[in-house]
Amino acid sequence: MPNGIKRIGVLTSGGDAPGMNAAIRAVVRACVYHNVECEGIFQGYQGMIEGDFKRLNERSVAKILGRGGTILKSSRSKEFMTEEGRKKAFENLKKNGVDALITIGGNGTFTGAHIFQKEFGIPVIGIPGSIDNDLYGTDHCIGFDTATNTVVDAVDKIRDTATSHNRLFFVEVMGRHSGFIALKSGIATGAIAIILPEDEMSVDELVETLRSTEESGKTSSIVIVAEGSKSGGAYEIAKTVTEKYSEYETRVSVLGHLQRGGNPSCYDRVLASRMGVAAVEGLLQGRKDVMVGIINDRESYTSLEESITRANVPNRDELRIARILSI
Ligand code: F6P
């Protein structure tokens, strides 16, 4: 094999995202195609520390392409943040003959991967799987499209009640530090306001918008709030707004973890399949310490360091468009 790679380990870590299974399938099948063995590592980095390994073949990943979650399971391992934990993990890789690693996850996953690679020199490639879509070096992360469609579906339903009862709804969506889900779903559902960590709309501005749209005959509205918003979550913002403006009956809905589950969309399945193959082929071509991404419909590789230190940020023009349309 080129670079002497005979066995590639694959794991998922951090928050699960719809499409991770499609990525695992692609990694395993690309390994088989290129005559390399593939070792599944269960429970993320914690499983690497505890030796939770299992050889995978093309049949082990049958019928998972369209399933949410991750068959390899996931965790946020505190032990892997210690030198001792990482040493144990490396010993287990050696014991199982794993000589390269593919990690599927988000920022925390890649931070761990980057440190691990520096300490032990084992080649690592990351695949971006995060509904938050906040990784630099790819147009989209696996899971973002599905999660956003889940939000759109939920908000369309909430809209029915909002309209029937002339209510103002504050809907909180995921995104610890990132407003991608909020921005896209807000445009797609015609939200009157979208509150993002990257660009906060002030309460006064929101009250002003509510007032002027009510004057033009609007009887119900939806405000989308990203969970990482600096003015607090949806409950807090709703409280502040209603203290200043109480014309509407108000309700709050926090969508929570339902956004992380469900069958991946066509877009996420294809994205994950492409990234899985590109990760295996990247390793075989001698790439390491990089994240695979798709930029302008082309596979590309960005250093892990860059992908974790520079964030992907929402398009400000989309925010402007959302404001134009919310009158
Ligand atoms: O990073 C993905 C994410 O879903 C964030 O949007 C959210 O803040 C966080 O994970 C929730 O994590 P947990 O599942 O550990 O509660």
pLDDT exceeds 80 at position 245: yes
Mean pLDDT (whole number) for 86-110: 98
Q: What is the pLDDT of residues 183-197, one digit of tens each?
A: 999 999 999 999 999
Q: What is the pLDDT of residues 251-302, one digit of tens each?
A: 999 999 999 999 999 999 999 999 999 999 999 999 999 999 999 999 999 9
Q: Where are the beta strands (DSSP E) in the chain?
A: 7-12, 37-41, 53-56, 100-105, 124-128, 167-173, 193-195, 221-226, 249-254, 290-295, 298-303
Residue of 20, 77, 104, 132 to test ligand 1 pocket, by largest number of atoms within 8 Å of CB: 132
For the domain made up of 145-260, give the CATH fold.
Rossmann fold (3.40.50)
Residue nearest to atom 15 of ligand 1 (CA): 15
Mean pLDDT (whole number) for 139-166: 98
Q: Where are the beta strands (DSSP E) in 119-166?
A: 124-128
**Mean pLDDT, the chain, as a whole number?**
96
Examine domains 2-143+264-309 and 145-260 and report if their fold is the same.
Answer: yes
Per-position DSSP letters for 63-129, written without gaps between them: T-TT--S-TT-----SGGGSHHHHHHHHHHHHHTT--EEEEEE-HHHHHHHHHHHHHH---EEEEEB
Q: If one looks up domain 2-143+264-309 in CATH, what number appears? A: 3.40.50.450
Domain extents in the chain: 2-143+264-309, 145-260
Residue of 13, 148, 185, 260 to test ligand 1 pocket, by largest number of atoms within 8 Å of CB: 260
The contacts of residue 315 (CB under 8 Å, 6+ apart) are: 183
Which of helix, strand or coil describes residue 7? Answer: strand
Residue 246's pLDDT is 87
The torsion angles phi and psi of 191, rounded to 5 degrees, stand at: -65, 145
Residue 2's pLDDT is 59
Cβ–ligand 1 distance for 18 under 6 Å, the answer no
The contacts of residue 149 (CB under 8 Å, 6+ apart) are: 265
pLDDT band at 1 (very low <50, low <70, confident <90, very high): low
Q: What is the pLDDT of residues 19-35, one digit of tens each?
A: 999 999 999 999 999 99
Q: What is the pLDDT of residues 31-68, one digit of tens each?
A: 999 999 999 999 999 999 999 999 999 999 999 999 99
256 C-alpha to ligand 1 centroid (Å)? 9
